[in-house]
Every structure is written in C-alpha cells, then in structure tokens.
Amino acid sequence: MQVRLEKSWQNQLATQFDAPYFKELTDFVRQEYQQFTCFPPAKDIFNALDSTSFSDTRVVILGQDPYHGEGQAHGLSFSVAEGVSHPPSLINIFKELEVDTGKPYPKSGVLTPWAKQGVLLLNATLSVRAGQAGSHQKKGWEQFTDAIIASLSDNKTGVVFMLWGNYAKKKGKHIDRSKHLVLETGHPSPLSANRGLWFGNKHFSKANAYLKQQGGTQIDW
C-alpha cells in the first residue's frame, strides 16, 4: 500500500507506520485490492491527509466508511467524485448547510474546497470492499485514525471536531475538550435525519463562530 502523505502528517504519524498493527493492516488492504474491487481507488486512500496538512487542520469532520458504490469515494469523508449523484447523507448535509448559512445548495458533491481551507474530511476506516459497508472495519484502520485524532488533540489548540452519529461520537474520547470545540449530533443519513437527530444542528455556523472567536479565518462552506 502506497503511503502518500503530506510531510507534516508523515512526521506526526511516523511511529504508526513502524507499528506491527500497521504492517498487518497494509498486508490486508493490499490483498483486498488485489482480489476484490475496493474503494476509494488505491491512490486516494490517504487523500484526506494529503489534502489537508496537520498544520493547516482547523476543523475535523469524521465519517465512518468510504462510500462503497462505483465511482463515489475519493478519500474525503462524505465527498463524492465530480459528476456523481449526491448520496442521501450528503444531500442532508447540504440541506442543513443551506438553512444554517444561507449558502445555496451546491451542484458539485466534491468537498475538496473545504479540505483546502483546513477541514480534515476523515473517515474512521479508510477503505472498503465494493458493495460491503464495514468490510474493512476492525482491521487496524480505527487504531490509525485514533492516532490522527489524538495527535491533533494533543499538539494543537482551537480545532473544531464535528462528530456525527454514535460511531463518530465514540472516537471523541481521544479529544481534549478543554482546548478544542467538540460538536455532536446525529448522523446525516436519512434514518437519523428523519428521526429529528440531524437537521437544525447549526454546526457550520457554530464552527465559524468559534474559529472567529479564536482569531482565525472562517470557513467558506
């Protein structure tokens, strides 16, 4: 597996690459990509870290698995490749964004512009077998992404962590809430949103208010 990381992440996570679990994870992922169709494309597995450096990270949006449909995932949580129809969760994200900030519903589902502004779009698991949600869970990815969250929490201040759904909330145990803002709500999936657990959370405006309070630049969502 090609570890393609921006230099500041390479430095932060160097000990992970030498750990026994990461060797086992690498072997597993390599075999999966050789034997099955998996997503995102291998070159995009670390796209979230490559698109948003450790030093630039100001907001973290934590997803669970990459999308497991053809052509959807490209390594950024909740984002889809250009020209791909918006999945239900992304539709609900954009609907909440529109109500919260007044920004018109976007045509493109590519969230790279967010990443370029310091929004780390991180999935807890960075790969998945086609059509099989959760198929690469409990193979080591969770330990790796826990290390990413802990590194941000320990070595930075004033980061906004958006934890959507119970799975993401559990990852919040690695965050020092005395020096970061943690925003929690239901998952944007229709199941959660239709139960009243997503809409009205105002996470986008709350994040910008906090960033402004910290003396930083707000995100152009």
Residue 200 has pLDDT above 70, yes or no: yes
How confident is the model over 31-54, as pLDDT tens digits?
Answer: 999 999 999 999 999 999 999 999
Please tell me which residue in 18, 27, 44, 65 is annotated as part of the active site.
Answer: 65
146 a catalytic residue: no
Please state whether the predicted TM-score (pTM) of the whole model is above 0.75: yes
| Angstrom distances, CA of residue 73 to CA of 102, 152, 220 | 27, 24, 23
What number is the average pLDDT over the span 16-22? 94
Q: Which of 1-5, 114-118, 139-143 has the lowest mean pLDDT?
A: 1-5
How confident is the model over 153-183, as pLDDT tens digits?
Answer: 999 999 999 999 988 999 999 999 999 999 9
What number is the average pLDDT over the span 184-211? 95
Q: Cα separation of 87 and 109, whole Å?
A: 9
Dump strand ranges (E) for 31-166: 38-39, 59-63, 119-123, 128-129, 160-164
